[in-house]
Amino acid sequence: MHVPTTGTEVRLAARPDGWPTTADFDVVRAELPPVGPGQALVRNLVMSVDPYMRGRMNNVRGYAAPFRIGKPLEGGAVGEVLESRSPLLAAGDVVVHDLGWREYAVLGAGSAERIDTSVARPADHLGALGMPGHAAYAGLLEVAGFRPGDVVFVSGAAGAVGSLAGQIARLRGAGKVIGSAGSPEKVRHLTEDLGFDRAFDYHDGPIWQQLAKAAPEGLDVYFDNVGGDHLDAALLLARTGARFALCGAISQYNQKGEPAGPRHLVQAIGKGITLRGFLVGHHEDVKPRFRAEMSGWLARGEVLFRETVAEGVDQAPRAFLDMLAGANTGKTLVRVAE
């Protein structure tokens, strides 16, 4: 087997000021480092672009270190092992790892997880069986403490995480599942394809008015991917004892200056609302249960997971920008190789 010595990679050229542009990325051909003891060379097949990556482009330390200027970005990817100097991996293994945004990755064998492609497609391990599915499952069931009969509102419901959170709620016996999305086509997708009971386009008027119309009885659970006016509306419509799972706040990721705080947070006092933020890494203990249950749902056709796919690692910056702008439905992926 031919072992490559160079590969295309996407580097952070500059830290975005507000909305990122293609000028903030460099696509370059680079020499590959040698494969050392305990390492493996992986040819990436498919990679993920996700909203959280926008935060890592800022020079602010959060739960993950900022991306470095002039260095390749990172993110979830699935690839085939071409060469290994570790007993943990062998040539031909297919693995999921965190060195996306490049054609080839030299990585520590212990940082990659071998997957069985006879059970699910490689891309599924970046979507329904990967981080988005894990976040939806843990956020709804563990963080929000979902109970059958709950009225559930999911913001950004046509995205990778939101689309799964709503379907899990439906499969687990929600009283009603409501979603917001950014176009009439996405609204139809939620109700006609994914089984949401109600959905609305957040461009069509004040969020709280549309949410009140969709859930006049109020909310028990809010799965937040958007923040901002969606969070404010959920606070207004929440029932006593409502539980909020705070997964993301994409409406604020590209804002300049200080973001406005929730205007209706006082509602949480009298209603006894629980607002709990989380990362998937906080809930590794549920991963085996999540994978077993999600695998069954997928096999039986009970969960539908749509993907928006770009072709070629050089298209990763455009795919990322389109995803931030809401041009995707479901999970945004970049196919790096066949």
Q: How confident is the model at residue 163 (pLDDT cuts 50, 70, 90)?
A: very high
CA-to-CA distance for 134 and 138, rounded, in angstroms?
6
Q: What is the mean pLDDT of the chain?
A: 95
pLDDT confidence of 1, banded at 50, 70, 90? low
Closest CA relative to residue 170, chosen from 201, 197, 188, 131: 197
Per-residue pLDDT reduced to its tens digit, 39-55: 999 999 999 999 999 99
- Residue appearing with tokens 């041009």: 327
What the block records as the tokens of 45 is 């097949």
**With 80 as the cut, is the pLDDT of residue 258 above it?**
no
Distance (Å, whole) CA 304 – CA 82: 32
Strand partners, 230: none
Once rounded to an integer, what is the mean pLDDT over residues 265-269? 95
**Domains along the chain?**
6-127+306-335 (3.90.180.10), 131-282 (3.40.50.720)
DSSP letter string over 213-247? Answer: HH-TT-EEEEEESS-HHHHHHHHHHEEEEEEEEE-
Provide the greatest CA pair distance for the chain.
Answer: 66
- Least Cα distance to 99 among 121, 65, 126, 72 occurs for 72
CB distance 183 to 113 below 8 Å: no
Tens-digit pLDDT profile for residues 210-244: 999 999 999 999 999 999 999 999 999 999 999 99
Contact of 70 with 117, CB cutoff 8 Å: no
Percent of the chain with pLDDT over 70: 99
Can you tell me the mean pLDDT for 11-24?
A: 96
pTM of the predicted model as reported, rounded to 2 decimal places: 0.93
